[in-house]
Structure formats: structure tokens, C-alpha cells
């Protein structure tokens, strides 16, 4: 019995032992697998919990105006923290600098604390083992430099426990100037304006920094050697002229306030190059403030209305269907196309007028009848739309801003485009098609540029540290959009709109320079119903260029749905164009003809100064300063200028004798009084300005104190 019990105990011991061995073997195998076979994997995961590589933001490149002024730049800001438990902080330095450090932080950074309170706070953070104590958020460069000089902090990252994280904030030195065109970046998906289009150029290359996790979930730099410095972005030089941009924005803003329009657009472009010197887009915020809410000039395609009539007229002229003195019947401003009535904007009683007059007065009836007669009645609408394509009105400009739509021009006789019998006449006056303001301006610019179409552009150069590394060339299409003769006649039409009393822009013509262009008034959201046309508003516009005889700038102005002060293009948009042009003419010297471009024409002897008399040295100085050729024949102190044909002067003596009345004719008042009074004569003067023309006492008469009357003139 005792033997059986003993055997049973032994068996149980062996069973337990085997179990222990098995468990130990499993644990060993698992440990071996984790530490050896999968060691790298788990070590990486462990490090990831406490060490990570984070990107370091690169300084974004600047966006510059054409003169180098900053339109957008990246300003550095700093988050500054303190590691009071850095292993490199010396206990002696800590004790020696604590009071001074607390005083500096409380006085210059965080005045909510007293110096004593800040000292207690820093001690508490150290005792709690904190490794990350915020000191300042979004500190400026000056503030950061000041904090770096604080006691203890001046010892640096490890010995002083100072942690500085740099970041950048985009700043606009000129405020809202060209705000939407400059644009912005938000995340990885929202890219607006030049900032968005040239993001790859401006953003630079990120660096990296190893960070490790400390108590409280904060991350601090591992060590300086672990940082890979970012590569700053490149700068973008734009075509924007700050002065012209300011002029354009102010003129548009005043019109927006006056007319309470839904939005407004103004673009100023250089005719020869296509460089956009100013672009403004204004709308209203919810709280009633003017703001660049959207780039309507580039992104908003609308029915242009009467400004499109230039394209219709150029097509007719290019195809040889009309000349400017042909006659067209305006039917007193009303005509029918099938069952649809088309009217002129203003009631009138005109019937037969010239084609030129019909355009100048912006007759819907006149222009549409011409297009319908020559293109519609013979099923040649495709020839008309082909001309529009020749004028580049069917394609986007390719401007360096994302979101430009393609123009919409219906395909003739297409059911998909809902082509009907009334499409062509309405298209001819700017309806049943859509186009952006910039696309239309590029067409007007081509007419101003003698038919040469150039691509509008905003970017001049990419620069790095002021050196050009890429230049964007002017892009122009070979050949002309139409013949020289057709373009010349189109220019005459645009000049007539302003200069002739028929013209819709006549009232705002300028007396000191000439401009050319076309007004436009388009119905917005209209519906042709059975018994009336329903209209939701109007779009007022003006497109043109200046000076008319040698165009330097083209410009388009558009205001959508003006509510006060009129709605016609001549009332609403034209005054904005005129203000922009007036101020550009004043501020830009290059708009004036060079007066000394040609060699000076020699003056005839009749135009030379003659019989001017005075002190000899004064006369010599005058002719020398004026660089006038002369022969010096004088031998006395007083001289007189005489013409010496054909184109020079001679300086001869004027004799002044003692005790005789001197000859002062031709002298200035100062010299005449000097000579007469020195001769003992009394002087009386008639006149206020000029030289002496007459004297009452004959020269050579003996001087005995008599009174001499002299007349100036």
C-alpha cells in the first residue's frame, strides 16, 4: 500500500516536471522568435512609440511684383519650449541662473506670472520630471533672439534646455493687393492662384528631424546632428505693377460701392507682350465687405453681350462681306427672327445708317441683320464660327492660374448644342455663347496689336537669391488673326465708339489723349417667354485700349448685376476704364511720345532771339547754357544779341557814355534801372513783365536829372 502511494507521488512529480519543461520550452521558443527572428521588427515598433522622423518645413519662396516688391513672403515664427530635465544641464548653472531666468520670462514673455511665481513654476516642472515646458508660441524673430539671450537659455539646446521649433506664416506686405491672383495653399488639395499653380517652384524641399517622446505625450528634438536642413523654395517674379494694381483696385472698388454690383472685374494688360500689369476681382462677403472672393476674370465664363460685336464685325470685314460705309436698315430698333423679336437697347427712329454708325451706336438689330444675311441665310454659320476660331475665341488663354474654363461656342446646326434659327443672330451680339473676361480681352488686345495675338501671362521669371534661373518668354501666334486691312477697319470702329457723337462712349472721351473700345450691356439670366422676356439682371462691361494711336495697354472692366446708378456699360464700366487709363497716363512716362527722339531742327533766323540787351557776362552765360551757336564781337561791359543768318547769333557791343542817356531798349528791368539811375535820371515804369520796349527820352541825350518813362512788354 505504501509502495503504491510512493509510486503515485513520483508520477505526479514527473508530470509536473514535464509540464514545466514544456512551458519553459515554449517560452524560450517564443522569446527566441521575438528577440532574434523578429527582433528588428519589434525594436522598430518600440522605437516608433518613442522615436519618429518628422518633416521640417522649408521656407516658401517669395512672390514678387515686376519691380521686385514683395507681394507674398514667408515670415518665420517660433514655438519656444524648455526642457528643465535635460541631462546636460549642470546643477550649478541651474541654481545660479534660475532666479534671473524666472525674472526674464515673467517680465518679457509671460507677464501673467510674477518673477517669484515663475521661479516656483519652473522648480515644480523640474521636480515633476517634465521634459517639455512651453515658453512662447508664435514668437517673432526678434522675440526669439531675445529669449535665446536669457540666462541659462543662452547655453543652447542641451546645456540650457532651450527647444526652438521654427515654422513659417505667409504674409502679404501690400495687404489685399491682387489677393486672389496671388492665391494660397490649404492642405494638399486646395491650390489657388499663383501660389497654387507654382507650388512646386515655391514650396522648396522639406528637411527631416528625429524627435523622441517624453512625458505628457510631447516630442522634442533628439539631437542637432539628426536634422537634415530643408531647401528653401525659389522666388517667382510676376508681371504685376504695384502702382497700376492699386489704381485698378481703387477704381473698381469705388464703382462696386456706387453701383452695388454683385461682383466686378478689371484687367490691365500690356499690348505688345501680354503681360498682365493689374488684375482685380471684387465681390461681397457675408458681412458686406468688399473682398476678392473669386477670380472672376479668369474663372467666370458668361455671355459677353455687345462687346462681342467686334468679333462679328471683324468676321464680316475679313470675309469681304461689308465695308464701313455700306448701309444697313435698323428698322427703328426692332426686327423679327422667326417668332422672336430683337430690339436695340435704346428706342430710336433710325432706319438706314452706315455699318460704322450701327457699330458705334451698338445696334443689336444692325449687327445681327448683317451676320444673319451673310452667314445665316445661305447656311454658312460654320464659316462664321470658323472665323471666331481664327480669332482664338474658342480656346482658353493658358494663363498661369488653375480653373480657367474653355469658351463655349455652339457647333452650327448641332442638336446637342440646341442650335436653332435664332442662334446665329443672338450669337452675333454676344448671347448663346460664354467666354471669360480675360479671354475676351486677349481678342481686343490682338486688335490693338495690329492683329497679333499674344498669350496673357502673369509670371516673368523664377529666381533664386536674386539670380534668374528660368525666364518665361512672350508667346505670340505667328501671323495675324485677320488681314491688316480688316484689323485697321476694326480699329476705326473702336475709335469711332469714343470719338463720334453716335458712339456709346462719346460722353467720356478724353481731351488730352485718345482711347478706343466698345461698351457692352448683357442681360443676365434671361428667358424668352411667350409674351415677354424675363431678365434677372444686367452685366455692364467695357473693353478697349489706350492710347488709341499707339496702344500700350488694353483693359477690360465688367460689373455684374449693378443695382444702383444705371446698368449700361457706358454708365457703369466705362468710368472705371477711364479712371484707370487717366491715372496710368499720368504715372507712366512711357505713354507719352519722346519729344527729343529726332535731331532738333535748326531755327530760322526769324525765330532767333534778337535785340535782347544786357550785361555782357549774363548774355554770354545764357547762350552757352542753351548751347546756341554765336559769334562774340563785343568789346564792352554791355552787349546786345543780333540774329546772324541762317541759324546763329552774334553778340555786339552797346556803348554807354558818361553824362548821356543810355539806350535801355531790349534790357531787363534790373539792368535798365541800374544804367538810368547811375546816370542821375529818375525812372517811371509802365507795365509789369517783359523787357523794355520803349523809353521816353532819346538815347544820347545829355543827362541832367530828367524823368525817363520806360514801357515793359
Q: Cell 509802365 sits at which residue?
A: 686
What pLDDT is attached to residue 604?
A: 62
In a domain, 90, yes or no: no
Same domain flag for 587 and 609: no
- What nine digits make up the cell of 556? 477690360
Question: What are the angstrom distances between the C-alpha of 204 and each of 47, 197, 213, 234?
Answer: 29, 14, 28, 7
* Cβ atoms 278, 583 nearer than 8 A: no
What pLDDT is attached to residue 215?
A: 59
- What is the CB-side half-sphere exposure of residue 110 using CA atoms within 13 A? 19
In this structure, what DSSP letter does residue 271 have? Answer: T
Same domain flag for 468 and 609: no
Same domain flag for 495 and 566: yes
Same domain flag for 502 and 406: yes
* Cβ atoms 605, 555 nearer than 8 A: no
In a domain, 349, yes or no: yes
Choosing from 546, 569, 591, the residue where a domain stops is 591
C-beta contacts of 372-378 below 8 A and 24+ residues apart: 372/337, 372/424, 372/425, 372/428, 374/316, 374/319, 374/321, 374/322, 375/315, 375/424, 376/424, 376/425
In a domain, 654, yes or no: yes
Q: Above 50 in pLDDT, residue 54? A: yes
pLDDT digits (tens, 9 = 90+) for 165-199: 888 899 998 888 899 999 998 877 889 999 999 99
In this structure, what DSSP letter does residue 275 have? Answer: B
* Cβ atoms 233, 61 nearer than 8 A: yes
Work out the burial of residue 377: count CB atoms within 10 Å of its CB; fewer than 13 is exposed, 13-18 middle, 19 or more buried. Answer: exposed
Same domain flag for 262 and 294: yes
- Average pLDDT over the chain, rounded to whole? 88
What pLDDT is attached to residue 319?
A: 97
State the average pLDDT over residues 549-556: 96
Q: Above 50 in pLDDT, residue 225? A: no
Choosing from 568, 591, 614, the residue where a domain stops is 591
Same domain flag for 348 and 477: yes
pLDDT band, residue 37 (cuts 50/70/90): low
In a domain, 236, yes or no: no
- What nine digits make up the cell of 64? 514678387
Our count of domains for the chain comes to 3
Same domain flag for 297 and 430: yes
Q: Above 90 in pLDDT, residue 544? A: yes
* Cβ atoms 308, 440 nearer than 8 A: yes
* Cβ atoms 669, 688 nearer than 8 A: no
pLDDT digits (tens, 9 = 90+) for 302-358: 999 999 999 999 999 999 999 999 999 999 999 999 889 999 998 999 999 999 999
Share of the chain above pLDDT 70, in %: 88
DSSP H helices, 219-339, are: 242-259, 296-299, 309-318
pLDDT digits (tens, 9 = 90+) for 402-416: 999 999 999 999 999
Share of the chain above pLDDT 90, in %: 59
Same domain flag for 554 and 648: no
Give the whole-angstrom CA distance, residue 357 versus residue 334.
17
Q: Above 80 in pLDDT, residue 238? A: yes
pLDDT band, residue 574 (cuts 50/70/90): very high
Q: Above 90 in pLDDT, residue 41? A: no
pLDDT digits (tens, 9 = 90+) for 433-462: 999 999 999 999 999 999 999 999 999 999
What pLDDT is attached to residue 597?
A: 66
- What nine digits make up the cell of 666? 531790349
Same domain flag for 583 and 613: no
From the CB of residue 681, how many other CB atoms can be counted at a distance below 10 Å?
20
Same domain flag for 337 and 444: yes
In a domain, 497, yes or no: yes
Choosing from 541, 559, 591, the residue where a domain stops is 591
| CA 196 to chain centroid | 16
Q: Cell 542753351 sits at which residue?
A: 626
Q: What angle do CA 355, 517, 327 make, to 5 degrees?
A: 5
The Cα diameter of the chain in Å comes to 181
In a domain, 190, yes or no: no
* Cβ atoms 575, 593 nearer than 8 A: no
| CA 43 to chain centroid | 56
* Cβ atoms 619, 591 nearer than 8 A: no
- Of 253, 258, 274, which is closest to residue 266 (Cα–Cα)? 253
- What is the CB-side half-sphere exposure of residue 106 using CA atoms within 13 A? 17
* Cβ atoms 182, 71 nearer than 8 A: yes
Same domain flag for 475 and 336: yes
- What nine digits make up the cell of 635? 568789346
* Cβ atoms 675, 632 nearer than 8 A: no
What pLDDT is attached to residue 209?
A: 72
What pLDDT is attached to residue 8?
A: 67
Is the dihedral angle over the CA atoms 612, 616, 622, 623 positive or is it negative?
positive
- What nine digits make up the cell of 309? 460685336
In a domain, 151, yes or no: no
State the average pLDDT over residues 597-610: 65
Question: What are the angstrom distances between the C-alpha of 333 and each of 175, 287, 429, 538, 569?
Answer: 48, 43, 14, 20, 19
In a domain, 506, yes or no: yes
pLDDT digits (tens, 9 = 90+) for 668-709: 888 888 988 888 989 898 888 888 889 888 988 898 988 989
- Of 361, 359, 360, 389, which is closest to residue 371 (Cα–Cα)? 359
From the CB of residue 320, how many other CB atoms can be counted at a distance below 10 Å?
11
Residues making up the chain, counted from first to last: 713
Q: Which contiguous run of DSSP H or E holds residue 41?
A: helix 39-50
pLDDT band, residue 55 (cuts 50/70/90): confident
- The enclosing domain of 385 has a CATH number of 3.40.710.10
Range of the domain at 17: 2-37
State the average pLDDT over residues 616-633: 82
Is the dihedral angle over the CA atoms 580, 266, 436, 541 positive or is it negative?
negative
* Cβ atoms 656, 638 nearer than 8 A: yes
* Cβ atoms 386, 482 nearer than 8 A: no
Same domain flag for 620 and 554: no
Q: Above 70 in pLDDT, residue 563? A: yes
Q: Above 70 in pLDDT, residue 620? A: yes
Query: For residue 268, what are the β-bridge partners?
Result: 278, 555
State the average pLDDT over residues 259-269: 97
State the average pLDDT over residues 259-272: 97
Amino acid at each position: 500500500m505504501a509502495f503504491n502511494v510512493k509510486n503515485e507521488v513520483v508520477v505526479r512529480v514527473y508530470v509536473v516536471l514535464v509540464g514545466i519543461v514544456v512551458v519553459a520550452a515554449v517560452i524560450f521558443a517564443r522569446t527566441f522568435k521575438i528577440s532574434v527572428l523578429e527582433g528588428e521588427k519589434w525594436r522598430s515598433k518600440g522605437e516608433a512609440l518613442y522615436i519618429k522622423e518628422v518633416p521640417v518645413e522649408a521656407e516658401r519662396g517669395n512672390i514678387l511684383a515686376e519691380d521686385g516688391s514683395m507681394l507674398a513672403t514667408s515670415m518665420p515664427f517660433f514655438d519656444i519650449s524648455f526642457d528643465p530635465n535635460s541631462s546636460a544641464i549642470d546643477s550649478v548653472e541651474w541654481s545660479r541662473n534660475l532666479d534671473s531666468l524666472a525674472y526674464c520670462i515673467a517680465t518679457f514673455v509671460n507677464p501673467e506670472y510674477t518673477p517669484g511665481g515663475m521661479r516656483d513654476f519652473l522648480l515644480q516642472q523640474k521636480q515633476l520630471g517634465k521634459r517639455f515646458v512651453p515658453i512662447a508660441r508664435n514668437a517673432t524673430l526678434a522675440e526669439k533672439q531675445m529669449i535665446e539671450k536669457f540666462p541659462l537659455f543662452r547655453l543652447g539646446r542641451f546645456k540650457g534646455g532651450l527647444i526652438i521649433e521654427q515654422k513659417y506664416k505667409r504674409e502679404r506686405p501690400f495687404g489685399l493687393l491682387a489677393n486672389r491672383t496671388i492665391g494660397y495653399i490649404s492642405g494638399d488639395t486646395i491650390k489657388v492662384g499663383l501660389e497654387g499653380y507654382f507650388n512646386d517652384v515655391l514650396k522648396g524641399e522639406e528637411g527631416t528631424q528625429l524627435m523622441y517622446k517624453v512625458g505628457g505625450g510631447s516630442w522634442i528634438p533628439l539631437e542637432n546632428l539628426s536634422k537634415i536642413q530643408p531647401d528653401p523654395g525659389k522666388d517667382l517674379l510676376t508681371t504685376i505693377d504695384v502702382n497700376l494694381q492699386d489704381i485698378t483696385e481703387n477704381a473698381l472698388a469705388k464703382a462696386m460701392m456706387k453701383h452695388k454690383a454683385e461682383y466686378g472685374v478689371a484687367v490691365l494688360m500690356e499690348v505688345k507682350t501680354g503681360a498682365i500689369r493689374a488684375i482685380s476681382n471684387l465681390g461681397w462677403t457675408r458681412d458686406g465687405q468688399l473682398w476678392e472672393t473669386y477670380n472672376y476674370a479668369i474663372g467666370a465664363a458668361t455671355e459677353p453681350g455687345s462687346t462681342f460685336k467686334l468679333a462679328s464685325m471683324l468676321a464680316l470685314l475679313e470675309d469681304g462681306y461689308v465695308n464701313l460705309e455700306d448701309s444697313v436698315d435698323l428698322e427703328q430698333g426692332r426686327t423679327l427672327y422667326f417668332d422672336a423679336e430683337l430690339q436695340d437697347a435704346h428706342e430710336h427712329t433710325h432706319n438706314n445708317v452706315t455699318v460704322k454708325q450701327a457699330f458705334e451706336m451698338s445696334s443689336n438689330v444692325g449687327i445681327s441683320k448683317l451676320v444673319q444675311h451673310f452667314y445665316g441665310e445661305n447656311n454658312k454659320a460654320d464659316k462664321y464660327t470658323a472665323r471666331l476660331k481664327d480669332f482664338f475665341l474658342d480656346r482658353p488663354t493658358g494663363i498661369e492660374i488653375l480653373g480657367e474654363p474653355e469658351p463655349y461656342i455652339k457647333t452650327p446646326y448641332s442638336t446637342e448644342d440646341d442650335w436653332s434659327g435664332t442662334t446665329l443672330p443672338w450669337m452675333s451680339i454676344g448671347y448663346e455663347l460664354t467666354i471669360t473676361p480675360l479671354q475676351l480681352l486677349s481678342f481686343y488686345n490682338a486688335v490693338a496689336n495690329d492683329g497679333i495675338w499674344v498669350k496673357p501671362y502673369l509670371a516673368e521669371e523664377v529666381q533664386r537669391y536674386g539670380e534668374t534661373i528660368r525666364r518665361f518668354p512672350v508667346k505670340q501666334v505667328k501671323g495675324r488673326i485677320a488681314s491688316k486691312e480688316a484689323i485697321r477697319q476694326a480699329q476705326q470702329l473702336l475709335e469711332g465708339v469714343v470719338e463720334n457723337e453716335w458712339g456709346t462712349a462719346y460722353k467720356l472721351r478724353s481731351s488730352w489723349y485718345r482711347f478706343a473700345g466698345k461698351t457692352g450691356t448683357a442681360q443676365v439670366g434671361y428667358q424668352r417667354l411667350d409674351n415677354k422676356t424675363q431678365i434677372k439682371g444686367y452685366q455692364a462691361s467695357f473693353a478697349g485700349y489706350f492710347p488709341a494711336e499707339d496702344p500700350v495697354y488694353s483693359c477690360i472692366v465688367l460689373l455684374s448685376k449693378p443695382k444702383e446708378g444705371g446698368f449700361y456699360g457706358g454708365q457703369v464700366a466705362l468710368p472705371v476704364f477711364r479712371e484707370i487709363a487717366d491715372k496710368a497716363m499720368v504715372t507712366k512716362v512711357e505713354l507719352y511720345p519722346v519729344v527729343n527722339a529726332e535731331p532738333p531742327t535748326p531755327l530760322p533766323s526769324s525765330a532767333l532771339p534778337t535785340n535782347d540787351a544786357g550785361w555782357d557776362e549774363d548774355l554770354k552765360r545764357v547762350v552757352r547754357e542753351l548751347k546756341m551757336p554765336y559769334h562774340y564781337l563785343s568789346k564792352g561791359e554791355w552787349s546786345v544779341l543780333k540774329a546772324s543768318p541762317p541759324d546763329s547769333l552774334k553778340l555786339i557791343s552797346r556803348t554807354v557814355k558818361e553824362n548821356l542817356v543810355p539806350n535801355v531798349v531790349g534790357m531787363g528791368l534790373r539792368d535798365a534801372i541800374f544804367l538810368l539811375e547811375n546816370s542821375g535820371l529818375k525812372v517811371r515804369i509802365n507795365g509789369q513783365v517783359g523787357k523794355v520796349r520803349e523809353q521816353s527820352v532819346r538815347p544820347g541825350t545829355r543827362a541832367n536829372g530828367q524823368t525817363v518813362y520806360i514801357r515793359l512788354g
